[in-house]
Amino acid sequence: MTLLADARLVLPGGVRRGALRVADGRITGVDVRAEPGEEVVDLGGRYVVPGFVDLHVHGAAGVSYQSGRPEDARCVAAFHLAHGTTTTMASLVTGDAAELRTAVAGLAEAAADGIVAGVHLEGPYLAAGRCGAHDPALLRDPDVTEFERLVALGHGHVRMITVAPELPGATDLIRAATAHGVIAALGHTDASAAATAAGFDAGARVATHLFNGMRPLHHREGGPVTAALTDPRVTLELINDGVHVAAEVVRLVFGAAPGRVALITDAMAATGMGDGDYRLGVMEVHVRDGRAVLAGGSSIAGSTITMADAFRRAVLDVGLPVERVAEAASLVPARTLGLDGRIGSLEPGKDADLVVLDDDLAVARVMKGGRWQ
């Protein structure tokens, strides 16, 4: 047993000064006292938050999940783990049929080994006018047969797919995904509010990086933003990097949809690498001053942040309470994946996945499954 003493525990109900006990890879007690003979780690008043859960991440450390190689998946996941992300999805951008099959099959192996929590297909069923950093030449209308082949290759590890609800066949695709236990997300879309709402009614439950890659909100046609904000069934992904969404808009979304915001990174291969030239799928990306854009254009091509960066920015720059940010970085995404019975908050019986933050909210230590990383 290990007791993490003198900690500021960030719990679902607020922040409490106390101690947390870990044994056999799980949290066994909160706000407890030391027992004779147990190891005590004095945290000196540092914050302890649940391990971050990232629904949407493409890469880091110079490599990408897109390759499908398990060794690349290990590299990406290890980088983000060092920055507090104890549970990560592996997101794929649009590719041709052969590329996606290869990537899904390889990542299914990584998921089976516990490296990633599953595969997120961001495409290829996206709107050309809102494709962002996806190759428009590879976009196609929803194809249930192709999707089901990918699900079969994933051996149960394809967990989410982003689709534009206005495309022909989108409703059938959403229903097929739901039937297979795959989360349908709506994004990269030019849909009206009504068409987006129809997608949610068909079973979609996530808005992929809200505001980005979708028709903007207008006071006479709210589009996908309004449909997602006003539907209590929907998880709202937000990229809080200071580039994708302004701080005041982040505050607005948290206020409008309490308990439904999931911070994501949408991190690509340049994360942790500095400025330079990279690739996102088949697209060339230039990173300058930490901002990733498509070569020869202005479309943002993912981010270069970690979840720790998003967390710190949400508290210090956006001005949100630390417990609400912990909810958005951990519990909401865990609930979206159906994993909140095991991870996402500091509660007895859950996995000992946690992050120790100093007074400036920088990562000091990371624990996964009761082991310091």
- Tokens for 336, please give them: 């979206």
Please say whether the dihedral angle defined by the alpha carbons of residues 300, 227, 240 and 342, taken in this order, is positive or negative: negative
Residue 49 CA to residue 43 CA, distance in Å, equals 13
> Catalytic: which of 54, 266, 309, 353?
266
| Per-residue exposure over 24-45, b if at least 16 CB sit within 10 Å of its own CB, e if not | eebbbbbeeeeeeeeeebebee
**Nearest residue to 134 via CA among 213, 19, 60:** 213
Q: Is 26 helix (H, G, I), strand (E, B) or coil?
A: strand
DSSP states of 247-298: HHHHHHHHHHSTT-EEEE--B-TTTTT-SEEEEETTEEEEEETTEEEETTS-
**Residues whose CB falls within 8 Å of the CB of residue 298, separated by 6 or more in sequence, listed in order:** none
Give the integer Cα–Cα distance in Å for 2 and 6: 13
Strand-pair category, 276-280 with 261-264: unpaired
Number of CB atoms found within 10 A of residue 75's CB? 18
Question: Which residues, 6+ apart, have CB-to-CB distance to 49 below 8 Å?
Answer: 10, 311, 322, 326, 329, 330, 346, 354, 355, 357
* CA separation for the pair 331, 347 (Å, rounded): 11
Q: What is the rounded CA–CA span in Å between residue 361 and residue 313?
A: 9
C-alpha to C-alpha distance for 251 and 26, rounded to whole angstroms: 33
Q: Does the annotation mark 266 as catalytic?
A: yes
The amino acid that residue 4 corresponds to is: L
- Active-site residue set: 266
